[in-house]
A and B are shown apart, each in its own frame.
Chain A
Amino acid sequence: MTPDLPPVASPEAARSRGTGNFTTRILGVAAVATLAATAWLGLVVSPPDVVQGQLVRLIYVHPAVATVCYVGFGLCALASMAWLWPRTRSRRWDALAGASAEVGVVFCGLTLVTGSIWGRASWGVWWTWDARLTLTALLFAVFVGYLGLRRTGGSPEGRARRSAVAAIVCSLVVPVDHEATNWWRTLHQGNTLTKTNPSIHGWQLATMALSFLAFGLLFAWVLIHRYRLELLEDRYETEGLGLALEERRAEGAPPVAPHALTSTPLPADPLASEATAR
């Protein structure tokens, strides 16, 4: 659950504490526009397929979502490496790793759902234990475990270290999953776009390419917001602690008569002196 942000003094300050700015708004508008264009091209302009008929329209969602999921997990691994490297170690890399893993898990879930729907319609089954499907399910499971690991206790440093190592290990599944259709016999089709001569053309190719752009923009937009939210949570914890201390000090301070303010000095604040000693 995301905690509420502390109250702020002015609307300008409230805006500065949000996760959006001009760039993210442009990014969001671009994501929505390209998604709408993909939907229009995919549902109206693009013709049906000779073999799959209308089912081909799922190719404008499923491969793009799967690729974005790979990108999310890859980014998580890179950010984790940056955190582990002493010269680049920063809390921001850990926050980026967590945010990209979260968004990647969402897109991985979407990959499984859209793939299952497509599989039921084209293959005739919702699920089969071939290498590609099994590894994608494994990928989803290990990164859900990674997100669970990030919620474990301990010092922030220790938690970040454990998470970074786990992210790198978990991300090893990504290339294996991608190459599963090349290395083993699967029911899942091979890669369509990674060949030197893509086996898709015309409107189908154009729409598929646009879908990659659209879901990529959506991923970037969600990722930036989630990343900033992670940093805001840090800020909340820091500032929230300060506010709580101030409230406790106010509670602990004895009521002072107005005339005493001028005549008698206030007693020393034990919480303040404790904090100074620390």
Chain B
Amino acid sequence: MAVGTLSPPAPPARSRRRWLGSRRRQVVAAAVIATALGFLAFQGLSNATQYFKTADQAVADKASLGTSQFRIEGTVAPGIVHDRAGTEFNIVANNVSVHIVDSEQPPQLFKVGVPVVLEGHWQGNVYSAFQIMIKHTSSYVEAHPNRMKSQLPTATSLP
């Protein structure tokens, strides 16, 4: 075999450029895939994390919800009734009220004006709940903000 028939080897600079081009394509492909996966994950989580319906949404979707189990959210309205069967009260969200019949003992923070998330289903025009969860806000207010100041000696009490 004649040596002159052999093709010359590719110059290193060109192969390096090709490698870089391939590398760039890989990065772009990975970025596209990651973006697509991120979008899908966000959409999936958005659907899966419809953790509760507000009381007005539950009333609006009542026909489609039927007697299937879902969570409902609202603020406890005045008029809580405790009896042997459980607890009856109303929750309000966006001026829509829903009557609740709960079969379990409510948590210790349960009271009028507290937002709650309930788990249960529609039973006619009443929401039958088997679990009450308190949804407290991120705001905190000291019950006795001046209690330490009151223990400090005042100017008149000093000798």
B109 and A51 contact, CB distance less than 8 A: yes
Instruction: Tell me the bound Cα distance from A50 to B138 in angstroms.
Output: 13
Selected contact of A125 from candidates B114, B133, B139, B140, CB within 8 Å = B133
**Complex Cα gap A179–B149 (Å):** 38
Chain B residues in the interface with A (C-beta under 8 A): 45-46, 49-52, 73, 106-110, 114, 117, 131-145, 147-148
Identify the A interface with B (CB < 8 A).
45-53, 55-56, 59, 121-125, 128, 130-131, 176, 180, 183-187, 189-192, 199-204
Can you sample 14 A-B contacts with CB below 8 Å?
A: A45-B148, A47-B143, A49-B143, A50-B142, A55-B109, A125-B133, A185-B50, A186-B49, A190-B138, A191-B138, A199-B137, A199-B138, A200-B140, A202-B145
When distances are taken between beta carbons in the complex, the residues of chain A under 8 Å from B147 are: 47
Point out the residue from B107, B110, B143 that lies within 8 Å of A50, measured CB to CB.
B143
**A134 CB to nearest B CB, Å:** 8
Q: Are A125 and B131 in contact (CB under 8 A)?
A: yes
Assess whether A123 is in contact with B133, with CB atoms less than 8 Å apart.
Answer: yes
Q: A124-B107, A128-B133 are in contact. Are A184 and B46 (CB under 8 A)?
A: yes
Q: How far is the CB of B61 from chain A (nearest CB, A)?
A: 15
Take A122-B134, A124-B106, A187-B133 as given contacts and tell me if A131 and B139 are in contact as well, using a CB distance cutoff of 8 Å: no
Q: A56-B140, A124-B132, A199-B139 are in contact. List 10 more A-B contacts (CB 8 A).
A: A47-B142, A47-B145, A47-B147, A122-B107, A122-B134, A124-B133, A190-B137, A199-B140, A203-B142, A203-B148
Query: A192 touches which one: B50, B52, B110, B140 (CB < 8 A)?
Result: B140
Chain B nearest CB: distance from A1 CB in Å? 37
Measured CB to CB, the closest approach of chain B to A203, in angstroms, equals 7
**Are B138's CB and A192's CB within 8 A?**
yes
Check B109–A52 contact: CB distance below 8 A: yes
Report A155 CB to chain B, min CB distance, Å: 23
Closest 7 CB pairs of A and B: A124-B107, A184-B49, A199-B139, A131-B49, A200-B140, A50-B141, A189-B138
Indicate which residue in B50, B106, B139 contacts A200 across the interface (CB closer than 8 Å). Answer: B139
Residues of B within 8 A of A123 (CB): 107, 133-136
Cβ contact within 8 Å between B49 and A59: no
CB closest chain-B residue, reference A201: B142
Chain B residue at minimum C-beta to C-beta distance from A169? B34
Q: Is the CB of A185 within 8 A of B136?
A: no
Q: Write the chain B residue with the least CB distance to A46.
A: B142
- Determine the chain B residues whose CB is within 8 A of the CB of A53 once the complex forms: 109, 143
Contacts of A45 in B (CB 8 A): 148
Nearest CB of A to B114, in Å: 7
By beta carbon, the residue of chain B nearest A208 is B140
Known: A45-B148, A125-B131. A202 touches B142 (CB 8 A): yes
Choose from A48, A125, A184, A203 the contact partner of B51 (Cβ within 8 Å).
A184
Q: How far is the CB of A177 from chain B (nearest CB, A)?
A: 11
Smallest CB–CB gap between B129 and chain A, Å?
Answer: 12
